[in-house]
């Protein structure tokens, strides 16, 4: 499998080079040259396969021969060695819980897969790789955990000061060793722009070996397909595939779901669930893509005003607006609506959502209200404890605290404060 740049001004590369480079030299995103077609027999008998067999079958065509099959099988097994349960909330709505990994967030899958692939690629190299990543919340913790103590790799994480939850911040600032956190006086968009400038800086890249662990990296983006297949494996009514609602910020997650759909996964419709950052919601109404400055919300991991991965979604649909609209809808919701649905579901359904899952739930409910013959799944992307300071005042109760979080709360945050200017980041990278 080869990958081309969405800007079409860079040479095609294999999975190894796409993973190591992160972003194409022309600043486009790498995209697979062809979309694999999974065989119908596999889909029809998916209940007979283990999750490891499913994940290997899904990812192998994208990796090709750059990782031996036995090694890839090991990487896949380590990536998904936790549960992905599909939980019934009511007769029409199910929650796919993606928070049972080590950092209690869906991004554990992509981060664990990428870290192991990159570790394999650099094991015989004498040059240290620097993984540079911007986070609006969960990416930082997942990447920090996934790459912790990986030989030959240093990680530098940029996060917006005061705009991530306490648990999220501790997950990315307390590990030490090869993990460093830069606390930026700005927004996630500022962090992401600084990272993009670093990758585009020829002088910096001649001196340092930089790569990205954001969802722009194919090794972070592609394995997110796994849990869509795990959801379908658990879906009882195979004659009526689910509608799937995805809390969406940088649009890597829903893009992976759409890719899975294009390869043959049965899905009735996708819903991009957005908070006040509604660029894509408005795009699907008007056909005009107008990036905005991001707005801080309760569902902070979705606070993105110019989602990087949307260019891949357009590529999946050959940039045909109507083709995309036929498959994906989008709704956006305010913080007040998020609070109301979180409280309502807790009281009436006895199910506790996190703020991102709440947006996913209410978006699915809105779609199903308009299409009552369907049933669906929303992605519960993070454990509510990661946002206990938001959730507890809403439900007037304590969120159950897993042991991993209790241990975390006893640790001391270590970060380096920095202004939102690229030159400050460049100086830090060159001197540290």
pLDDT value of position 45:
96
Q: Which of 107, 163, 196, 339 is catalytic?
A: 107
Confidence of residue 173 (pLDDT cuts 50, 70, 90): very high
The beta strands (E) that lie in 253-299 are given as 269-274
| 312-340 mean pLDDT | 97
Residue 265 structural domain: 83-106+221-399
With beta carbons less than 8 A apart as the criterion, state whether 111 and 118 touch.
no
pLDDT above 90: residue 35 = yes
Rg of the chain over CA atoms, in angstroms? Answer: 20
Report if residue 51 sits inside a domain.
no
pLDDT above 90: residue 154 = yes
Report if residue 240 sits inside a domain.
yes
Tens digits of residue pLDDT in 408-426: 888 999 999 999 999 999 9
| 341-349 mean pLDDT | 98
Confidence of residue 348 (pLDDT cuts 50, 70, 90): very high
| 11-32 mean pLDDT | 94
Report if residue 381 sits inside a domain.
yes
Stretch (H or E) spanning 317: none
Report if residue 356 sits inside a domain.
yes
pLDDT value of position 285:
94
Token pair listed for 53:
């067999």
pLDDT above 80: residue 214 = no
pLDDT value of position 125:
78
- CATH value at residue 275: 3.40.50.1100
Could you give the 3-state DSSP secondary structure of residue 187? Answer: coil
pLDDT value of position 27:
87
β-sheet bridge partners, residue 423: none
Cα–Cα distance for residue pair 272/292, rounded to 1 Å: 17
pLDDT value of position 323:
96
pLDDT value of position 380:
98
Q: Please give the mean pLDDT across all residues of the chain.
A: 94
Residue 426 annotated among the catalytic residues of the structure: no
With beta carbons less than 8 A apart as the criterion, state whether 118 and 93 touch.
no
The DSSP secondary structure of 66-94, one letter per residue, reads SS-HHHHHHHHHHHT-S---EEESSSSEE
Q: How far is CA 151 from the centre of its chain?
A: 24
Stretch (H or E) spanning 2: strand 2-5
Of the candidate ranges 76-85, 121-130, 234-243, the one whose mean pLDDT is the lowest: 121-130
Token pair listed for 347:
């009281």
Of the candidate ranges 43-47, 48-52, 196-200, 395-399, the one whose mean pLDDT is the lowest: 196-200
pLDDT value of position 340:
98
pLDDT value of position 432:
87
Of the candidate ranges 210-219, 235-244, 297-306, the one whose mean pLDDT is the lowest: 210-219
With beta carbons less than 8 A apart as the criterion, state whether 279 and 338 touch.
no
pLDDT above 90: residue 138 = no
Report if residue 66 sits inside a domain.
no
Of the candidate ranges 124-138, 176-190, 205-219, 227-241, the one whose mean pLDDT is the lowest: 124-138
- Count of domains forming the chain: 1
Report if residue 367 sits inside a domain.
yes
Report if residue 420 sits inside a domain.
no
Provide the whole-model pTM.
0.91
pLDDT above 80: residue 124 = no
| 373-402 mean pLDDT | 95
Confidence of residue 150 (pLDDT cuts 50, 70, 90): confident
pLDDT value of position 198:
94
Cα–Cα distance for residue pair 10/53, rounded to 1 Å: 34
Tens digits of residue pLDDT in 42-61: 999 999 999 999 999 999 99
pLDDT value of position 215:
81
Instruction: Tell me the CA distances in angstroms from 418 to 48, 120, 167, 183, 427, one per residue in order.
Output: 52, 33, 21, 6, 11
Tens digits of residue pLDDT in 98-120: 999 999 999 999 999 999 999 89
pLDDT value of position 18:
95
Report if residue 382 sits inside a domain.
yes
């Amino acid at each position: 499998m080869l990958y081309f740049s969405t800007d079409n001004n860079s040479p095609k590369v294999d999975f190894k080079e796409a993973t190591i480079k992160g972003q194409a030299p022309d600043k486009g995103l790498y995209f697979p040259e062809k979309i694999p077609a999974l065989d119908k027999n596999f889909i029809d008998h998916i209940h007979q396969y283990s999750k490891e067999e499913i994940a290997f079958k899904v990812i192998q065509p994208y990796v090709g021969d750059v990782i031996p099959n036995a090694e890839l099988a090991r990487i896949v097994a380590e990536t998904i060695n936790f549960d992905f349960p599909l939980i019934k909330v009511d007769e029409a709505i199910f929650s796919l819980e993606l928070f049972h990994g080590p950092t209690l967030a869906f991004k554990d899958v992509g981060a664990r897969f990428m870290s192991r692939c990159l570790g394999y690629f650099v094991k015989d190299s004498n040059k240290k790789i620097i993984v540079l990543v911007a986070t609006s919340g969960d990416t930082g913790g997942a990447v920090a955990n996934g790459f912790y103590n990986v030989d030959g790799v240093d990680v530098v994480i940029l996060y917006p000061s005061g705009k991530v939850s306490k648990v999220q911040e501790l997950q990315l600032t307390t590990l030490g060793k090869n993990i460093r956190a830069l606390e930026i006086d700005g927004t996630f968009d500022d962090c992401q722009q600084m990272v993009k400038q670093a990758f585009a800086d020829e002088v910096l890249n001649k001196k340092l070996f930089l790569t990205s662990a954001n969802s722009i990296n194919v090794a972070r983006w592609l394995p997110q397909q796994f849990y869509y297949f795990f959801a379908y494996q658990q879906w009882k009514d195979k004659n009526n595939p689910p509608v799937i609602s995805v809390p969406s910020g940088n649009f890597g997650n829903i893009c992976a779901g759409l890719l899975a759909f294009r390869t043959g996964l049965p899905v009735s419709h996708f819903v991009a669930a957005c908070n006040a950052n509604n660029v894509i919601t408005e795009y699907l109404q008007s056909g005009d893509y107008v990036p905005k400055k991001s707005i801080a919300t309760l569902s902070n991991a979705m606070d993105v005003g110019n989602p990087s991965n949307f260019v891949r979604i357009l590529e999946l649909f050959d940039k045909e607006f109507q083709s995309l609209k036929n498959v994906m809808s989008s709704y956006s919701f305010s913080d007040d609506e998020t609070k109301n649905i979180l409280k309502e579901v807790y009281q009436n359904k006895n199910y506790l959502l996190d703020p991102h899952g709440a947006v996913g739930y209410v978006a699915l409910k809105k779609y199903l209200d308009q299409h009552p013959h369907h049933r669906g799944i929303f992605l519960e992307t993070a454990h509510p404890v990661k946002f206990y300071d938001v959730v507890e005042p809403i439900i007037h109760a304590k969120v159950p605290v897993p042991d991993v979080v209790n241990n975390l709360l006893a640790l001391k945050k270590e970060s380096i404060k920095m202004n939102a200017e690229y030159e400050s980041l460049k100086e830090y990278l060159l001197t540290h």
